[in-house]
Amino acid sequence: MLQNLFLNTNALLKTISPFIQKVFAILMIITLFFADIALLNTNTHASDPDFETNHILEIYYQPNQDYVEVKERLRLQVNTSLYLYPAGYMQEMYITPISSEYQNELFDSEMAFSRDSLQVYVNGQINNSYQVENTPQGIKVLIPQDYNIDNYNPFEAEIRYKSHQFIDINGNISNIYTPQMPTLEDSKTDGNGLKTNYNYTQKILVPENESMHSYYSPSSIQINTENGHRIYTLDHQTIKNNMGWVQIGTEQYTYFKIEQKAPISDNLIPESISNISPLLSTNVYEIILPREFEETNQEIYIKSISPEPKLLYHDDEGNLIGRWEVPANKESTITIEGYVKQSIHKDIQEEATSTNEEASDTQETKSTTEVTLTDLASDIRSNQTLSKFLESDTYWQTTDPEIIQLANSLKADKEKIYDILISDYNYLVEEFDYSYDKVSQFNQRIGALRALEGEATVCMEYSDSLITLLRAQGIPARPAFGYGNDPLLDNEVYNSTQQTDVSKTEFLQKNEATLSDTTNNTNSNESDENKTVESNNEDLNQKSKGHQWVQVWFPDYGWMTVDPTWGETKRIYIGPDLEHVLWYTSSSISTSPIDAMVYSANITAENAYDNYHIIIYPVPASQFSEIGSLKTVDQIATISDLQIIQEQDKLDFMIKTNPLGKTAIVVLPVCVTLVIFIVIITLIASQIRKYNKKRLMANTTSNDNTGKDIEKDTSKKLETKSEN
């Protein structure tokens, strides 16, 4: 531009005197010289990069596809005229896996699927001169650079491929993930003082007319609409510490079927006799059913129950428990079949950061991120039941000095509950490593203290530790047990050929400080996380795993779901989603319910869990069309108050489940019969005695009369003889 100005000025000067021309020419040369120096200094200023590298990863979701289409663009730009990238280099891009940690046959086949669909473009034109190499970071794509990259010629390349790894279709919802990125740098300066800026952006694009999301993480994701798509964007700073996760769909349906086999435990009383009265030979089974839960609007629909339960009630925690009475001298099976329906129709990130529109002007409801410990203290004073969720317990050693010190350091001077929770959450994710060895071997529950001291951890240790820290900080927390689907934690342990339909959330053993393997201990409370629950529907091919997580109390909200275990996949998992099916909760170890229990008067009765099986898997809406004909829990529940049950059923329960009660029931009829027999014999003997006595008296009277007659006859004879 300055050169053009010089030429135009020079043409003008030709019309004036030669002396003036020379003066202007000298001045123009000096001006151009200093202008070029200023331009060079501007291009190499320390605050401006000499080079820029921009990556934009876009993941395109389409309904009814089990894969996503991925486009990643690379732009290399030179901002200085002093340097360039010479031609002949091979620029690198990657087909990035969801995580390079999960190396197995499934991983290899998924990467091959992406590689086979690969297309490469350079400056908008397809390019087939690329090369690929397998690396731990993914499939490296080497793209030839056929020209110099300088200040006027940037380099733009794009790779396109399909991936199953970034999407997980689970029943009626679709989870879309962005890949975990290696450590990202903002910029780098080399030994020559040349500075390069790096910028990464990730986007998930969903058709605008598709279902809304029910969950996304992290909360800093930006959402906008453009060109018919709803776009979820993660900027460079967000990608540094997180991976993206968007859950599409607002309702989830989960099918479950519980089978509890009741084997024979009484070989003494024959059926013909026990049919007269069930008191003579009965076992009582208690089985936990999935419960209702407000956060995800979780509702339970019963398809069938066989046989009918004697009782179906809620305990003090709101857990749903059924009680069945079955013959102890006859083999039988208890079967419960039904559905869990969950729904989230509000943007939970907006709900968490906005105030309640229905709140009055004088009492505005704070968002969950803003409530403080002062607000919580007021909640606890007005709701005394919350205090039990602050107590120390077997695996939640809140009064231990080490726990107190750590809890205080993490809490520091924070006043907001959410900030304290994030501090605890991040600490556990950073300090713990999920132990697949512990899952597949002797999975003993060790509690928070031992976990925080460095022992191997799985979901129950993550949860127990978070509960302990929160309770020590004065924040009510409780364990939640149920089933979850998280493909990002899948590993060879879950992908092994050994499959079973038996799963366990957490089998809580009462009044025990240590636990042993559930396969060897009839009262164990282990989480068989290595045992998967397989759907018998091959089209679904989904798995749900027994899992433990945490619920934290927030004023004006209630119990909020928090899963520290899933934080291992670079997600801050706080708030409701549709991947957790809640089964039950507890306030303490000693009062926690157990999935299945048998109460029997027979010492040979097997542990209930040995014969407990569950099948559970999500289904799409198209397979859940019978909800109108199903019964809700409220429609079939018999009694809602456990205290009433205990008072009404105490004697009956004791007789049927206590050896002394059974003995009394068996012996009592014998004793009664014996007493009746004795009474009858006594009465008969008495009657016989009375009869004999009467007969004797009659004989005696007869003899007396006969003697008198003889005496009279003799007297008469003597008198006659005397007269003669």
Q: Examine residue 623 and state whether it is found in any structural domain, yes or no.
A: no
Residue 544, pLDDT score: 63
Domain count, the chain: 4
Q: Is the pLDDT of residue 689 over 60?
A: yes
Residue 316, pLDDT score: 86
Q: Examine residue 509 and state whether it is found in any structural domain, yes or no.
A: yes
Assess whether 171 and 39 both reside in one domain.
no
**CA separation for the pair 42, 491 (Å, rounded):** 52
Q: Examine residue 611 and state whether it is found in any structural domain, yes or no.
A: no
Q: Examine residue 123 and state whether it is found in any structural domain, yes or no.
A: yes
Residue 712, pLDDT score: 60
Q: Is the pLDDT of residue 477 over 60?
A: yes
Q: Which residue has the tokens 């607002």?
A: 250
Q: Is the pLDDT of residue 468 over 90?
A: yes
Yes or no: say if 95 and 111 are a contact pair by the CB < 8 Å rule.
yes
What percent of the chain has pLDDT above 90? 46
Closest CA to 669 of 267, 266, 265, 269: 269
Residue 540, pLDDT score: 41
- The residues, any chain, with a CB within 8 Å of residue 683's CB and separated by 6 or more, are none
Residue that is last in its domain, among 575, 608, 637: 575
Yes or no: say if 13 and 157 are a contact pair by the CB < 8 Å rule.
no
* Average pLDDT over every residue of 630-657: 65
* Average pLDDT over every residue of 98-114: 75
268-280 residues labelled b (16+ CB within 10 A) or e (exposed): ebeeeebeeeebb
* Average pLDDT over every residue of 129-148: 92
Q: Examine residue 436 and state whether it is found in any structural domain, yes or no.
A: yes
Residue 103, pLDDT score: 57
544 or 551, which is more confident?
Answer: 551
- The residues, any chain, with a CB within 8 Å of residue 587's CB and separated by 6 or more, are 317, 388, 389, 391, 478
pLDDT band at residue 175 under the 50/70/90 scheme: very high
Residue 649, pLDDT score: 67
Q: Examine residue 287 and state whether it is found in any structural domain, yes or no.
A: no
Residue 505, pLDDT score: 31
* Average pLDDT over every residue of 156-169: 94
Assess whether 123 and 151 both reside in one domain.
yes
Q: What is the pLDDT of residues 190-224, one digit of tens each?
A: 888 889 999 999 999 999 999 999 989 888 899 99
User: What is the residue type of 111?
Assistant: M
**CA separation for the pair 389, 589 (Å, rounded):** 11
Residue that is last in its domain, among 508, 541, 575: 575
Residue 480, pLDDT score: 96
Residue 380, pLDDT score: 94
Assess whether 545 and 684 both reside in one domain.
no
**CA separation for the pair 512, 402 (Å, rounded):** 23
Yes or no: say if 91 and 145 are a contact pair by the CB < 8 Å rule.
yes
Closest CA to 289 of 586, 640, 624, 584: 584
Yes or no: say if 393 and 588 are a contact pair by the CB < 8 Å rule.
yes
Residue 69, pLDDT score: 97
648 or 369, which is more confident?
Answer: 369
73 or 718, which is more confident?
Answer: 73
Q: Is the pLDDT of residue 457 over 80?
A: yes
Residue 611, pLDDT score: 92
Domain of residue 119: give its range: 51-249
Q: Is the pLDDT of residue 471 over 90?
A: yes
For the domain that residue 242 is a member of, what is the CATH number? 2.60.40
Assess whether 445 and 544 both reside in one domain.
yes
Q: What is the pLDDT of residues 481-509, one digit of tens each?
A: 999 887 666 543 333 333 333 333 332 22
Residue 189 bridge partners (DSSP)? 195
Q: Is the pLDDT of residue 641 over 60?
A: no
* Average pLDDT over every residue of 392-409: 96
Q: Which of 182-191, 254-263, 415-424 has the lowest mean pLDDT?
A: 182-191
Q: What is the pLDDT of residues 246-289, one digit of tens each?
A: 999 999 999 999 999 999 988 888 887 777 777 778 899 999 99
Assess whether 545 and 482 both reside in one domain.
yes
For the domain that residue 488 is a member of, what is the CATH number? 3.10.620.30
pLDDT band at residue 546 under the 50/70/90 scheme: confident
User: What is the residue type of 694?
Assistant: K
* Average pLDDT over every residue of 645-672: 66
* Average pLDDT over every residue of 468-486: 94
Residue 71, pLDDT score: 97
Assess whether 379 and 236 both reside in one domain.
no
Assess whether 571 and 424 both reside in one domain.
yes
Residue that is last in its domain, among 575, 600, 629: 575
Would you give the DSSP letter of residue 225? Answer: E
Q: Is the pLDDT of residue 360 over 70?
A: no
Helix or strand holding residue 543 (H, E): strand 543-554
Q: Examine residue 193 and state whether it is found in any structural domain, yes or no.
A: yes
Q: Is the pLDDT of residue 365 over 50?
A: yes
Q: 495 is written with which tokens? A: 């992908």
* Average pLDDT over every residue of 38-58: 71
Tell me the average pLDDT of the chain. 79
Assess whether 73 and 110 both reside in one domain.
yes
* Average pLDDT over every residue of 304-332: 90
* CA distance to 84, 88, 235, 362, 656, per residue, from 48 (Å): 16, 27, 20, 52, 84
Assess whether 499 and 391 both reside in one domain.
yes
Assess whether 394 and 532 both reside in one domain.
yes
- For residue 433, the SS3 value is coil
Q: Is the pLDDT of residue 128 over 80?
A: yes
Residue 491, pLDDT score: 40
365-370: long-range contacts, CB 8 A cutoff, minimum separation 24? 365/556, 366/555, 366/556, 368/417, 368/418, 368/554, 368/556, 368/557, 368/560, 369/416, 369/418, 370/416, 370/418
Q: Is the pLDDT of residue 683 over 80?
A: yes
Q: What is the pLDDT of residues 577-591, one digit of tens each?
A: 898 999 999 999 888
Residue 704, pLDDT score: 63
Assess whether 61 and 33 both reside in one domain.
no
Residue 609, pLDDT score: 82
- The residues, any chain, with a CB within 8 Å of residue 671's CB and separated by 6 or more, are none
Assess whether 6 and 117 both reside in one domain.
no
Residue 717, pLDDT score: 59
- The residues, any chain, with a CB within 8 Å of residue 301's CB and separated by 6 or more, are 338, 339, 340, 341, 627, 630, 631, 632
Q: Examine residue 272 and state whether it is found in any structural domain, yes or no.
A: no
Closest CA to 525 of 617, 451, 447: 447
Residue 206, pLDDT score: 97
What percent of the chain has pLDDT above 70? 73
pLDDT band at residue 647 under the 50/70/90 scheme: low
Q: 700 is written with which tokens? A: 């005696």
